[in-house]
A and B are shown apart, each in its own frame.
Chain A
Amino acid sequence: MQNLSFEAVVLPHLDAAHNLARWLMRDGEAAEDVVQEAVVRALTYFPSFRGANPRGWLLQIVRNTAYNSMKLNRGIHMVPIATGAEDDEAALPELRSTDDDPETSLIRARDRGQVRQLIGALPVELRETLVLRELEELSYKEIAEVTRTPIGTVMSRLWRARRLLVQTATAQRVAS
């Protein structure tokens, strides 16, 4: 593995890095900053990289970087500004609906933007577990390594994430 270049190890997993950062930061610009900083950190750590699981290794660094960013900004209190222009999917989900057909409502709830909102609203430790499992398709063991969490905790977080997601999606349908 020492023969592999840094670029060959890291670049194939840039999509994974961005996906995780984007879901953790819930903001495009912040996510890109996190990815760039994480790549630089990864370069620093590269001499100690063992080559076993490059994606998991990079995701671990991305996650640490994202958590540090969030922590650094904790002291500053600002109200999120929903411009609507930056990301139309960030608009609040349309809860009221004139059609009462549950099937139609269910399809509406499955609308990408709404589901994105629901996942984004999950507590961060549930959100990252769900994203790593369902979008990144990591195994429990890999998730445990990336999040530095015992496998049993990964399993219960995943279960809580899925349960919350289905509950909130169902609640929106009921509310419509």
Chain B
Amino acid sequence: MSDQHGCDMVLLVQAEFDGELDAAQAARLSAHRSECAVCQAAGTDLARARALVRPELYQPAPDDLRERVLARLRTAGEASAPQRRGQRRFAGWRPPAFGFGLGAACAAAVMLLVLSPAEQSLTEQVVAGHVRALQPGHLEDVPSTDQHTVKPWFDGRLDFAPPVRDLAGAGFPLKGGRLDYIGGRPVAALVYQRDKHIIDLFIWPAGSTTAPAPIGSERNGYNVVHWVQDGMNFWAVSDVEQNQLRDFSAVWRHAS
């Protein structure tokens, strides 16, 4: 099979194969491929891979699982009607049993030692969240420079009320907010602008109210500053300079 490093266009060949190329890219690829043996071979390999992964390999939910899920939802619905949402509702839920599956689960877990999202530090997760949000159309769910529009938007979407501040006066105008998912829970993300750069501020409730000094770090070229304030975790991520991000953190912490 062709070498991944044989030609840096093979991922484009694959993207075309998967219907992910636009017309301009496809035309560029077409011109290249007519004279690249590696890319021609890649096309053959892609077709062979797809032929191997046949639709019969799909594993739909067994009927009894569907019934158990339905039964569980009915129980949960009845039991929780007068309650607020929360973990208590599921007190009767049988913890997952890993009887015969344990061996397979262990085998899979060994692989996780190499690359596990669960192992990813929060720093990596917030950077990943930031990078993902920079994809077109992903930055804000509620684009607004008005904190009085952004803050109520989170009502009913999160089980906490994130603080929202516009720092335009300090050179960090608010652009909007969105929901994100960090550390296994939904979190608030506020979007700020600094010149041409975007700063994401992720917020979720902290376990303690102690406020360590802001901790700065760098990951994949993105700077991250973390602090705890008023019982909330704050993670600011951006490609601005570390000292600018620390300024942002300081402005945030002292604005109220």
Whether A and B are associated in the same complex: the answer reads yes
Interface residues of chain A, those whose CB is within 8 Å of chain B, are: 2, 6-7, 11, 14-15, 17-19, 22-37, 39-40, 43-45, 47-48, 50, 60, 64, 67-71, 73-74, 76-81, 83, 86, 109-110, 112, 115-116, 118-119, 123-125, 130, 133-135, 139-141, 144-145, 147-151, 155-156, 158-163, 165-167, 169-170
B61 in contact with A165 (CB, 8 Å): no
Cβ-defined partner of B61 (8 Å) among A17, A37, A40? A17
Q: Which B-chain residue is minimally distant from A34 (CB atoms)?
A: B96
- Tell me, rounded to whole Å, the shortest Cβ–Cβ distance linking A31 to chain B: 8
Q: Which 10 A-B pairs have the closest CB atoms?
A: A30-B101, A80-B103, A33-B96, A162-B49, A27-B101, A27-B104, A18-B61, A15-B60, A74-B109, A134-B53
**Chain B positions 51-73 with a Cβ under 8 Å from a chain A Cβ:** 51-62, 65-66, 68-70, 72-73
**Chain B positions 94-118 with a Cβ under 8 Å from a chain A Cβ:** 96-118
Tell me whether B10 is interfacial, beta carbon within 8 Å. yes
B11 in contact with A159 (CB, 8 Å): yes
A47 in contact with B156 (CB, 8 Å): yes
Interface residues of chain B, those whose CB is within 8 Å of chain A, are: 1-2, 4, 10-11, 14-15, 18, 20, 45-46, 48-62, 65-66, 68-70, 72-73, 76, 85-87, 90, 93, 96-119, 125, 128-129, 131-132, 135, 141, 156-159, 179, 181, 184, 186
A115 in contact with B57 (CB, 8 Å): yes
Given contacts A40-B93, A68-B184, A74-B109, 14 further A-B contacts (CB under 8 A): A14-B65, A29-B100, A39-B69, A43-B73, A48-B179, A67-B117, A67-B118, A69-B98, A71-B109, A76-B106, A77-B106, A79-B103, A140-B15, A149-B128
- Tell me, rounded to whole Å, the shortest Cβ–Cβ distance linking A162 to chain B: 4
Cβ-defined partner of B105 (8 Å) among A27, A39, A79? A27
User: Can you list 20 A-B contacts (CB < 8 A)?
Assistant: A11-B69, A18-B59, A26-B108, A32-B62, A39-B72, A67-B117, A71-B118, A73-B106, A77-B106, A81-B100, A86-B100, A115-B52, A124-B108, A140-B20, A148-B125, A158-B18, A160-B4, A162-B50, A163-B49, A166-B49
Given A47-B157, A160-B4, residue A135 in contact with residue B112 (CB < 8 A): no
B128 in contact with A22 (CB, 8 Å): no
Q: Which residues of B contact A27 (CB under 8 A)?
A: 100-101, 103-105
CA distance A96 to B131 in the complex (A): 48
Q: Which residues of B contact A118 (CB under 8 A)?
A: 52
- Tell me, rounded to whole Å, the shortest Cβ–Cβ distance linking A92 to chain B: 14
B53 in contact with A130 (CB, 8 Å): yes
A144 in contact with B112 (CB, 8 Å): no
Q: Which residues of A contact B131 (CB under 8 A)?
A: 150
Q: Which B-chain residue is minimally distant from A136 (CB atoms)?
A: B58
A125 in contact with B118 (CB, 8 Å): no
B45 in contact with A36 (CB, 8 Å): no
B72 in contact with A30 (CB, 8 Å): no
Cβ-defined partner of B97 (8 Å) among A33, A39, A123? A33
Q: Which residues of A contact B51 (CB under 8 A)?
A: 110
A169 in contact with B52 (CB, 8 Å): yes
A73 in contact with B117 (CB, 8 Å): no
B105 in contact with A25 (CB, 8 Å): yes
B111 in contact with A30 (CB, 8 Å): no
A15 in contact with B107 (CB, 8 Å): no
B57 in contact with A70 (CB, 8 Å): no
B96 in contact with A156 (CB, 8 Å): no
A73 in contact with B60 (CB, 8 Å): no
B108 in contact with A70 (CB, 8 Å): yes
CA distance A18 to B59 in the complex (A): 7
CA distance A112 to B59 in the complex (A): 12
A29 in contact with B99 (CB, 8 Å): yes
- Tell me, rounded to whole Å, the shortest Cβ–Cβ distance linking B74 to chain A: 9
Q: Which residues of A contact B179 (CB under 8 A)?
A: 48, 50
Q: Which A-chain residue is minimally distant from B184 (CB atoms)?
A: A64
User: Among the interface residues A76, A123, A151, A163, which one has the most CB atoms of the partner chain B within 10 A?
Assistant: A163
A151 in contact with B135 (CB, 8 Å): yes
